[in-house]
Structure 1
Amino acid sequence: MSTPLEALPYRHVLTLPAMPSAVRTARETAEQALVEWGVSPRHPTVGPALLILSELVTNSVRHAAELSPQMTVIYAAGQDCLAFAVHDRHPYQPPLYGAVTGTGTGGLATVMELTLGLGGTAVVRSDADGKGKSIWITLPL
């Protein structure tokens, strides 16, 4: 994946309460945005991408809601790339690649298995003040 995120022409930002209903809203928003951007719902990346997004939002609701009553979901796409991030204000940064090496379980392991299986990338970016983070997923289309 060599497309810089800044070069992706399509973007959408959504702020949600850190509640279970956020998972459905984030997923439905992604589905709508992808259609508006001309990405077919039948594209082989879309189904796994929606599952990855759902898992990341679920993790934020489960693990960050006490310190972060809101989360932000960022969607971006271009001709050959889909990217999204889930941001919350909890300082813990999960070891993404630990999920791949066998030290992780559950949702994050699923996220990493799907991301890497699709030839994508995952990164955790800390907020400047260290009190929050974004988990970015980039997938080829």
Structure 2
Amino acid sequence: MVSAVADDLDDLAEDLAFDVFSRQCPSRSALEHVTGRWGSLTLGALHESGCRFNELRRRVDGVSEKMLSQTLQALERDGLVHREAQPTNPPRVDYELTPLGRQVAERLMALIELVESRMPEVLTARERYDETRGGR
């Protein structure tokens, strides 16, 4: 039964032309999960290596436990993150990128590196904007 559903979904995906600019397209929510603040930071942190929940929470400075949990669930549902619960006491849960998640994170990391390397220009542009618009 599960195999038949998967085959039907594969056939449907082949017939669809996904368009993120269409509000009906499911690719839009997947893009939001990847490019939202916590999604992009979580994928970036997991790109370095898989880790446990609290390690990830420390790495993604400022994220709440609830928001990180919701973010990981969305990324797992989209097939970008793999969650593995170890049957230990206390329970141990590890997170790592799937092959698809690794592909997405690699492209995301290129964008992150570009933004970080061009921050002097961004800061200059902000100053110029603030001077001409009355400042912030």
TM over 0.5: no
Greater fraction strand: 1
Greater fraction helix: 2
With CA pairs under 8 Å and 6+ residues apart, which has the higher RCO, 1 or 2? 1
TM-score (norm 2): 0.29
